Amino acid sequence: MIIYGTALLAVCHLLGVIIGDLLGRALGMQTNVGGVGIAMLILIFVRIYLHKSGRLSAISESGVHYWGAIYIPVVVAMAMQQNVVAALKGGPVALIAAVGSVVLCGLFVSFINRMEPETEAGEDGK
């Protein structure tokens, strides 16, 4: 059933958020620490486990794949609700600080990725 996949995804999501909150609490903060990342890791491991024991049907899987595919439209909706007006009003300090950090980080990304061995670069994702 397709809902099994979606429910599995939901349980992983909730587990991740709860663990992230507990982690934040343990570190003495009000925020969630890496909850979504933890949820992703849980889902990766659960999928590997279920695949090995062959208990995940293609239909159940599509209950997860749908949400993965709806991801870009969700991001577009997210863009629609950014506080663009305030961002443009922030003036030169905000603009220069933002541009500066993006450029600097971009240079580092480019630098680190250039050190990656070429053999890996040829690999296909599938």
Partner 1 sequence: MMWEILEKAAKENGLVTAFAVVGLVMLVSGVISRKMTCGRVQGSAIAILIGLALAYVGGKISGGSKGLADLALFSGVGLMGGNMLRDFAIVATAFEVHAEEAKKAGWIGAIALLLGTVLPFIVGVAVAWAFGYRDAVSMTTIGAGAITYIVGPVTGGAIGATSDVMALSIATGVIKAILVMVSTPVAAKFLRLKTPRSAMVFGGLAGTVSGVSAGLAATDRKLVPYGALVATFHTGLGCLMGPSVLFFIVRALV
Q: Does 112 bind partner 1 (CB under 8 A)?
A: yes
Q: Which of residues 37-56 bind partner 1 (CB under 8 A)?
A: 37, 39-41, 43-45, 47-48
Rounded CA separation 9/68 (Å): 10
Q: Which of residues 21-40 bind partner 1 (CB under 8 A)?
A: 23-24, 27, 29-37, 39-40
Rounded CA separation 99/3 (Å): 44
Q: Which of residues 62-101 bind partner 1 (CB under 8 A)?
A: 64-68, 70-101
Q: What is the DSSP letter of 1?
A: -
Q: Residue 11 CB, nearest distance to partner 1 (Å)?
A: 11
End-to-end alpha carbon distance in the chain: 25
Rounded CA separation 60/18 (Å): 24
Q: Residue 54 CB, nearest distance to partner 1 (Å)?
A: 17
